[in-house]
Amino acid sequence: DAYEPVGCTVLSVDSIFMMPHLGVLSTVNEAAAIEVFVRDCLVYLGTCVAPRGQGKPGDQCAEYSIVFRDGRQREMGTLQVGDLKLIAMGPGERAQIELRPARAFDFGEGKGKAVTREVTGGVVGLLMDTRGRPLQLPSDPAARLAAIKKWHLAVNLYPNHQGQAMSG
């Protein structure tokens, strides 16, 4: 959440904190550094789709439709303000997503304007995040904890807990 991606953003992580070392290697052997970077460095998590804007939790944020390239059935639905939805899309899997936002939300083309983009899956999948940008947590501690628990469950962040209450 610290980065708060907006629009359609491909997310990846450095597999084993390799990038700084590849930077040094590039000064000695640029071709080798590039090859290792492309082949082994990044783990693609998937695409995050998140609009800029704020709204009242539960209000409609956007309608969406997804056409999967692998022949899977088209998926359509509505996103409410405050939703965090994860859709399974494996590494390299591609789909076309159309987003039709409510007037107060912008997926990259302006407030209320429809957007069509190609999205790519990864080890996490396609994440649709309508919690608002900038992200605002509830000020009440109990409500804040409830929201965080809901988000953790939505993305299966701690799968071994099987919905049990988190301590803290």
Residue 74 banded pLDDT, cuts 50, 70, 90: confident
Residues 108-137, mean pLDDT to the nearest whole number: 94
Residue 156 banded pLDDT, cuts 50, 70, 90: confident
Question: Residue 7 is encoded by which pair of tokens?
Answer: 């629009």
- pLDDT at residue 25 tops 70: yes
Q: What is the mean pLDDT of the chain?
A: 89
Q: How far apart are CA 48 and CA 130, in angstroms?
A: 10
- pLDDT at residue 48 tops 60: yes
38 within 8 A of 31, measured Cβ to Cβ:
no
Residue 168 banded pLDDT, cuts 50, 70, 90: very low
Residues 136-140, mean pLDDT to the nearest whole number: 89
* pTM of the entire predicted model: 0.82
CA atoms within 13 A on the CB side of 63: 4
CB neighbourhood size of 164 (10 A): 9
10 within 8 A of 91, measured Cβ to Cβ:
no
Residues 70-92, mean pLDDT to the nearest whole number: 90
H/E element holding 22?
helix 19-28
112 within 8 A of 103, measured Cβ to Cβ:
yes
The residue type of 147 is A
pLDDT at residue 15, rounded to an integer = 83
pLDDT at residue 160, rounded to an integer = 65
